[in-house]
Structure 1
Amino acid sequence: MRKIVVFTLVLLLSAGIVWAKGYEIQKKAGELSVVVKMESSPAVLGDNGVVVTVKDAAGKEVTDAGVKLEYSMPAMPGMPAMNYGAVLALNKNVYQGKLNFSMSGPWNVVVKIVRGGKTVSTKFSVDVQ
């Protein structure tokens, strides 16, 4: 009986660890490779921590850029469009910040990277629960 209880606990804990993984997406922005990781998967109402890693064509981490996230929800009947932005701060070779989603549903996110006077961007969608 004790072995069954221990096995069940281990199974539940390992399932919780797997399910606790945050949202991650990899995209290209010009010649740059961009990885966006969010703390929660799915994203939730309120603050959601986000980490963006930017690498050049050689695979080297880019630390001399400005990174901004613009996120929006299109207008719906009886509701205007919502548009927000977050400037991310460089911390240990990654760019970190928070996105504050004010409503559940699909959100469009644009990652804008400014480096050497040039701006490149990439888009993805997040479904907020």
Structure 2
Amino acid sequence: MKKIALFTLILLLCGGLVWAKEYEIQKKAGDLSVVMKMQRNPAVMGENGITVTVKDPTGKEITDAGVKVEYSMPAMPGMPPMNYGSVLAVQKNTYQGKLNFSMAGPWNIVVKILRSGKTVSTKFSLDVQ
């Protein structure tokens, strides 16, 4: 009986890892709705996939914009600030790319959307493990 209980527990724990939900957050950028999803939850040091969905006020997905993600970690004692950027490519009605976090800790993420000559942006915070 103990073997069955142990096997069931291991199966449940492994199943939870397989079906772990990606990190998702939604905010507004001007009149646009922006949904950012990180491939890993929590995000980890190194390369992490990112998907950004942009919708107009009517809920229609926008695919004719330029989307750039700027991510940074503020300066800490003995360490200068870190600033990076990534231009996302349109794939299947979303903007996709990779962010490469160089160390664990709090990161600031700014999603910038350029459309019709105007730029709007929204800010997110992320804790990298």
Question: TM-score with structure 2 length normalisation?
Answer: 0.91
After TM superposition, the runs of 4+ consecutive aligned structure 1 residues lying more than 6 A away are none
Map 1:98-113 to 2 at 5 A.
Answer: 98-113=98-113
Indicate the residue corresponding to 1:64 in structure 2: 64
Paired position in structure 1 for 2:24: 24
For residues 23-42 of structure 1, the C-alpha deviation after alignment (integer angstroms, 9 at most, x for no partner) is 11001000100000001111
- CA offsets, 1:93-124, max 9 Å, x none? 00000000011110000000000001000001
Amino acid at match of 1:86: S
Query: SS at 2:13's partner residue?
Result: helix
Question: Mean alpha-carbon deviation: is it higher for 9-18 or for 47-56?
Answer: 9-18
Mapped to 2, the partners of 1:116 and 1:80 lie a distance apart of 36
Q: Structure 1: 5+ residue runs without aligned partners?
A: none
1:1-129 aligned at under 5 Å gives the runs: 1=1, 4=5, 7-18=8-19, 20-129=20-129
Name the CA distance, whole Å, in 2 between partners of 1:122 and 1:78: 29
Identity of aligned residues (%): 70
CA displacement 1:72-105 (0-9 Å, x = unmatched): 0111111111100000000010000000001111
TM superposition score normalised by structure 1: 0.91
Q: For 1:118 and 1:79, locate their aligned partners in 2 and report how far apart those are by CA, in whole Å.
A: 35
Figure out how many residues of one structure are paired with residues of the other and give that number: 128
| Cα distance in 1 between the residues matched to 2:4 and 2:43 | 37
In structure 2, do the counterparts of structure 1 residues 4 and 75 end up closer, same or farther at CA, with 3 Å as the change threshold? closer
State how far apart, in whole Å, the 2-side matches of 1:82 and 1:51 are.
22
Please state how far the C-alpha of 1:9 moved relative to its aligned partner: 4.9
